[in-house]
Amino acid sequence: MKYFIILTISCSIIRISFAQEADYMPKVQTLDSTIETLYGVISGEAGEKRNWELFKFLFTPDAQLIPSGPNENGKVGYRSVTPDGYIETSGAWLETNGFFEKEIYRVTETFGSVTHVFSTYESYKTANDEKPFTRGINSIQLMNDGERWWVLNVYWTNEREGNPIPAKYLPR
């Protein structure tokens, strides 16, 4: 009986995983849909749950998210987290405070399966905000394996005094 229960639970988990993959695959079929999903899945009003399973589905198993910027002493540094680490360190804040990140400009370079996207963004606290509270650039490395797009790394920094976004990375 115990074996039957374990087998039933395992089959249910596998069935749910395949159903999620079928639902999520259209979101990673094109570069545009993958980037759109990356921005969309972290965005939402205060109190709105994010789809963290979809977030993790975007990334390779060893992917890194790497915010960069000055520390309290003004020295520029970075930290590196996995998608799970990002959820642990930022997920509750995003859901509690509300956060919308919108791509406003993109430069894409591709060679074979390697794609690099320099994606300029604006961040808002609500969907109705007229002015962003910050802007910056995401350096996104992606791979297309012939079946789908994968995010390998997202490395970013915010615009700040002494570090404005260059005009070539802003909408014309």
Read off the pLDDT of residues 37-59 as tens digits, 9 standing for 90 and up.
Answer: 999 999 999 999 999 999 999 99
Q: Is the pLDDT of residue 15 over 90?
A: no
| Residue 6, pLDDT score | 56
Spans of all domains in the chain: 2-169
Top pLDDT among 8 and 30 is at 30
| Residue 22, pLDDT score | 82
Nearest-angstrom CA–CA distance, 134 and 125: 10
Nearest-angstrom CA–CA distance, 92 and 50: 10
pLDDT in tens, 107-146: 999 999 999 999 999 999 999 999 999 999 999 999 999 9
Instruction: Read off the tokens for 47.
Output: 């109190």
Specify the fold of 2-169: Nuclear Transport Factor 2; Chain: A, (3.10.450)
Question: Strands of 76-78's sheet, edge to edge?
Answer: 76-78, 59-70, 149-158, 134-144, 114-124, 100-111
Residues 53/121/79/90 CA torsion (nearest 10 deg): -40
